[in-house]
Amino acid sequence: MGKGISQIARSREIPGWSLPDREHDRFEIGLEVASRHPGKKCAYIKSIGYEGSGEDLVNSCGHLNQVCAADSFLDKRIKMTAWLKADLHPEAVGRLELSAIGDWGWYCKWNGTFDNMSDRQLTGKTEWKQYSLVIDVLPGSYSLLFGVFLIGIGKIWLDEVSIEIVDKDTPLTGLRPHPINLNFEET
């Protein structure tokens, strides 16, 4: 079955979600009926045909994301849960990301305000699986950025995204809870 206009909606047709302008020449986002649940839509991001060098292939990066105000979550720990499915080139990876942006800038993993699954990325071809990220929304946060991004060539589907406030006892996912491999003997 071909992908007609009734099956795909470009980024301007996904309320709240976007693909940064600088990424439109290498990636597209849209909606498909091919969801985890029959009859419902899911979003996707996929690379679009371009001939690049090996370095370009590995380094091209596209984002399907959303930005909103952090006011409702200030001084709270939040958990984002989403379902992902991937069909990725062997050199490509996919990641879910969640970031509280504040006075410190947009990327600050050391203070627990950022996680992008860098230690547990999607690779290859996967079926639907649920993933969760937990961060702190510190005082001074002014927005949240969340979504999925694709590095390289392939396609990632995103469905059933939720963000909830959780107890401070819920472990952060972007920070290691304690030092590891201090004697360099672990492999």
Residue reference for tokens 């410190």: 104
Which pLDDT score is estimated for 54?
A: 56
Listed in sequence order, the residues at least 6 apart from 38 whose beta carbon sits closer than 8 Å to its beta carbon are: none
Listed in sequence order, the residues at least 6 apart from 125 whose beta carbon sits closer than 8 Å to its beta carbon are: 86, 87, 88
Which pLDDT score is estimated for 33?
A: 81
Which pLDDT score is estimated for 109?
A: 57
Token output for 100 = 């509280």
Please list, residue by residue across 113-124, b when 16 or more beta carbons sit within 10 angstroms of its beta carbon and e when fewer do.
bbbbbeeeebee
Which pLDDT score is estimated for 85?
A: 94
Which pLDDT score is estimated for 183?
A: 81
d(CA 40, CA 15): 16
Which pLDDT score is estimated for 60?
A: 83
In the predicted model, residues of the chain with pLDDT beneath 70 are 1-13, 34-39, 49-58, 104-110
Question: Per-domain residue ranges for the chain?
Answer: 11-166
Topology (CATH level 3) of domain 11-166: Jelly Rolls (2.60.120)
DSSP string, 153-173: SEEEEEEEEEEEEE-TTSPPS
Residue reference for tokens 């920070």: 175
d(CA 83, CA 158): 6
